[in-house]
Structure 1
Amino acid sequence: MRKIITLSVAALILAGSYFIAFGVPASLGVVFGIEADGGKEPGATAGGPKSGGRAGNPTAGKATIVVLAPLEMQPYADILRAVGSAAALHSAEVIADVSGEVTEINLSSNRQVSAGEMLVQLDARTEVLNREIAQAELDQARDTVERYERLQGTGNSTVTAVALSEAKVAERLAEANVGLADAALDDRTIRAPISGKLNLSDVEVGDRLSVGSVVVTIDDSEALLIEFELPERSIGLLSKEQTILASTPTFTGQIFEGGIVSFDSRIDSVTRSVTVKARIENPDALLWPGMTFAVRIIHESDPLAVLPSTAITWSRSGSSVWIDEDGVAKQVPATILFRRNDQVWINADIAVGTLVVTEGAQKLRAGSRITAANAPASAPNAQEPGAEPSGVTPEVGQAEPKPSSATEEPT
C-alpha cells in the first residue's frame, strides 16, 4: 500500500511540473474545462484553430521571459602576482687587501659613511720607514742630477752625457720607489668604497686581519632592487619601465610604486619562470634590504565586450550568446577571452549597447519570442490589448466586442 501511495504522489508531482512548464494540453483542457496554453474561449470546438500550438510558426507562441542587459565595453586588467626579496641598489663588502694588526676602527653599525672615509687602520710602522728610505733615495738622486747639469753648464768635461743620463734614470727609479712606498702605506688604511650605511662588524682593535678578510658590508639603500619570479605566460607583458606595486608585511596597508629595470633573457627550465628585477625609491630609508615584498603587475587591455558569465551558452559549435533582435532571440557566436568571478570578456560581432540575454538563455531556440523580465513596469492606467476601457459600456443595440484571440462560434 505504501508503494502505491508513493508512486501516486510521484506521478502527481511529475504531472504538476509538466503542466507548469508546458501548460495544460488542449485535450485535457476540453475534458476538465481548463483553458489550454494556446488559449480557447469556452465553448470553442476542438477542431478550431490554435493560436498557441507548436506546429505553427515558433514566433507565434507565448514569449519566453528572460533578463536582458546592454552590452558594455571594459578593459580587462590582467594582474600578475609574485613574492620577492629586496636588496640595496649598491652594496659592497669591504675586504682587507693586506694583512696586519688593527690599531684603530671606525665601524659603528647603522652609521652613514661617505666614500673614502677611514674605517680600519692597520699597523703601518714598517711602511712609514720604507717611505722615508724611498724619499731619501729620491732626494739624493735629484741632487746628483742637479750637480751634473750644473757642471755641464760650466763646460766641465768630467761629466759626460752618459753619466748625466744614468743619474736621471736613478732619479726616476727613486720616484717609483716613493710611489710604491706611498701605496703600501695607503693600504694600511681601509676606507669605505661607496657611500652608505654600515652593517654589523666583529672587527676589534688588536685583531689581526689576513688578506681577503671581510671587514664590513656597506649598503646604499637610497633605492632597493626587488628580485622576483614571474610565470612563462607573463613574458609578453614584460618591458622596462613597467610599473609595479609592492607591499610588505612590515608596513601593512602601504603600497610602494616602482618600475622594472631588468629581466632575464631565458625561461628557467625547471620552474618555467623568468627572473625580474624592479627598482623602488627609498629616500627616507624606510625600507631595509632583505625585506620580503608582495609584488603586483597590472596590465590593462583595450576595451572589450564584457557580460555576466550566465549569458554564455554552449553547444557543439562552441560558446555563444543570445541577443534581442526586435523581440526575437538571435544566437551569436562568442569567443571567451578572459574570465574573472562572474564576468567574461568576449570577442563577438555585437554592437555596443545591444540587449543580450543574461538569464534564461538555456530556454531559447532560434526565432523564439522573448520579453524582458526586467523591463520597466507599465503605467497603472494602461489596459491590456483588447480589453474594454474602464468605465465605458457598449451602447444599446451594439454588439459586445469579441476577445482578441480568434475563436470559432459554436455550431
Structure 2
Amino acid sequence: MTQPDDTITRVLQAAAHPLSGASSDYDGLLERTGDARFVLIGEASHGTHEFYRERARLTRRLIDERGFTAVAVEADWPDAYRVNRYVRGQGEDGGALTALGDFERFPRWMWRNEDVQDFVAWLRDHNRRRPGQMVGFYGLDLYSLHRSLAAVIGYLESVDPEAADRARRRYACFEEFGDNPQAYGYATEYGRWEPCEDQAVAQLLELRRREAELARGGILAEDEHFYAEQNARLAANAETYYRSMFRGRDQSWNIRDSHMAETLAALLRHGEGQGRPQKIVVWAHNSHLGDARASEMGWRRGELSLGQLVRERWPEDTFIVGQTTHAGRVTASDGWDAPARARTVRPGLEGSLEDLLHRVGAGGSQNFWLDLRDQAVAASLGAERLQRFIGVIYAPQTERYSHYVHTCPARMYDALLHFDHTAALVPLDRTPGEQPAREVPDTFPTGE
C-alpha cells in the first residue's frame, strides 16, 4: 500500500542528513559508498552551481580519502583529454582556464564554468603534491567525430607515417560532409551515400593490433596510444550514432550511453594494465547516471542508461548519487545554439519528487542528503513519482512535457542530494551567443 505524502514527509525528515557546508557534510555518505569502484554523481540540470560545486566537493574527498584514480565526465574525449594532460603536468597549457580551451561547441558553459575551472586547478595541484597517486580526467561522450578522426591521423603521423596514410584513406569517406556529421547520417540513412562503417571499424582494429607493440615505448607512449585508440573507437561508434538519429531518439540514445559504458570499461582496463587498481568517479546528468530500469525511460521507451549498464556489469561496485532542486536559477538556453542566460526555475510540480523534498526541507535543513539504501527511505521513495530533468535547454512553458519523467527514485539512485533553492552556474565565456555546433545531439529539446 502506498504511503500518504504527509507520512512520507515525516519519515524523510527523520532520515535527512543536513548539508551545511561543513567539512563533515559527507562523512556518512562516504561511509555508505563503502568499497565501490564506481561512484556516479548526477545532476538535475547542466546549469546549476550547487550541483557542480557539491559534486566537486564529494569528488575531492573520494580522491583524497578513498584513493579514486580518475574522473570521467559527460564530455567529448579529445576536449577532456587536453584537461587530462594539464592535470598530469603534460602539454603546454599554463592554467586551468586555457586547459579548458577545447570546449568550443555548444554548450560551452557545461564545462567552461567557474566550478569546473576551480576543480581542474585543484586536481592539477593534487597531482603535483601526490605524483604517486596521479588522477586523470576523461570524456565519455561521442559527438566529436571529426576532431577524433583528425586526432587518430595526427597521432599516427608521429609514430608511423604509413599507418597515418592508411587512416587518412579510410577516413576520407567522411570528407564529403566536412564538419557536419548530421548530413552524413542523413545521406547514408536515405541511400545517398555509402556508409563509412567498415572503414571506421577497420581503423579501430588496426590500432588495437598495434597496441602491444606501441606500448613498449613507455608509459607516455602507452597513454598516447590509448588516447588514439579511444578516438578511433569514438569514430566507429559516432558513425553508427549519426546514422541512427534518423531512426528515432531511443536507438541513438542507447548507442550514446553504450559508448559511454564502453569508454568507462576501457579506462578501467587501461589503468589496471598499468598495474594500478582503478576507482572512477563519473559526472553526468541524472538521466544518464540514474538506472533507466527505474524510470519510464526504460519501462516505456526502451532506453538504456550508463548507470544501468554500470550496475549490471559491476553490481557490487557501483554507487549512484542523484541531485535535485526545487526552485531558483539555472544557466540554460531557449533553444539549440541559442545564447546561455540565467533562467528562473519554476517550483517543482505538485506531487513531484522535487515538491516532496521541498516539504521535507521545510521541517529543518533545506539542503540535505538521503540514503536510499535505508529501508524506511527506500519504502518511502519506492513508488512511481514525477521527477524533473533539465538539460542545456529549459522550456518552462512546456515544463511538464519537456522536463518531467516518471521514476522510482529509490531504485534509480543509491543516494540523493537535495538543494532546495539553487543558483545559476557562472560561465567563463561572457560573450553573447555560442559557437555554432554542427555535431548536434539527439536530446532536443531538453538536451541532457
The higher radius of gyration belongs to: 1
Q: Which has the higher strand share?
A: 1
Question: Could you tell me the TM-score, scaled by structure 1's length?
Answer: 0.16
Question: Could you tell me the TM-score, scaled by structure 2's length?
Answer: 0.15
Q: Which has the higher helix share?
A: 2
